[in-house]
Each structure stands twice: as C-alpha cells, then as structure tokens.
Amino acid sequence: MGKRERAAGPVGPGAPDGSKRWVGSWLVLAVAAAALANAVVDDDSGLRTWWTLRADLREAEARIERLRTEKAGLERDSGGLEDDPFALESAIRERLEFALPGETIVRLKPRETANTRIP
C-alpha cells in the first residue's frame, strides 16, 4: 500500500479507530458548547457585557451626532450676531437678563392649565 491508500474496513462509531475520533469530536463539541454557554451567562466578561457596551456606544454616537447638529445651528446663528451689533446686544441682554437704566423687565409665567375661560 502506498502512503495515500487506506485500508478497507469499518468506518464510523463502530470502527476501532473511528470510535476514538468520534468520541474526540463529541468532546471538542461539548467543550465548545460549554464555553459558549459560559460566554452568554457570565456577567463580567460575557456576551451580555459586550451587547451592553455596544448599546452604550450606539447611544453615545447618536448623542454626538445630535450635539454636532446643535453646534452647527449655534455657529450658524452666531454668524448673524457678529455682523449686527444690535442683535448681539439683544442676545446678551436676553440671555443674561440685563436691563438698561429706565427699562423694566416683565416675566410672564406660562399658563399651567388649558382653561382659556376668563374669570
């Protein structure tokens, strides 16, 4: 027989040499299944932790995108303030609630009820 030729004989679980391979294959499969089950169940370093971190990452990326959009809007609005001194003064006074001498600031509270009836 050459090196590549195999002897004819029983193959599979009932074969003398095949049974060792069969048991070895099942053992490898059982160890892999146990490792996978441990990865799913383990809270410290398992798949749950990985899934949680992925969800946190998606939330953070969404927040970053919202903040970038807000920043772009603020930068667009600030362009008008640089060109118009009256708009700049008005924005500063509104934000810091400043009043010039002789001015009176009136603050109106939003209506808490939806009742539009006048008493």
pLDDT in tens, 37-91: 877 777 777 778 888 899 999 999 999 999 999 999 888 877 777 778 888 888 8
For the CA atoms of 55, 57, 58, 61, the dihedral, rounded to the nearest 10 degrees, stands at 160
Comparing 70 with 1, which gets the higher pLDDT? 70
What pTM, to 2 d.p., does this model score? Answer: 0.44
For the cut 60, the answer to whether the pLDDT of residue 13 exceeds it is no
Helix axes 16-41, 47-83, angle to 10 degrees: 40
- Does 12 reside within a domain? no
Q: Are 91 and 85 in contact (CB under 8 A)?
A: no
Q: Which helix (H) or strand (E) holds 78?
A: helix 47-83
Host domain of residue 91: 19-96
- Does 14 reside within a domain? no
- Does 109 reside within a domain? no
Q: Are 12 and 18 in contact (CB under 8 A)?
A: yes
Total domain count for the chain? 1
For the cut 80, the answer to whether the pLDDT of residue 15 exceeds it is no
- Does 119 reside within a domain? no
pLDDT, averaged across the chain: 78
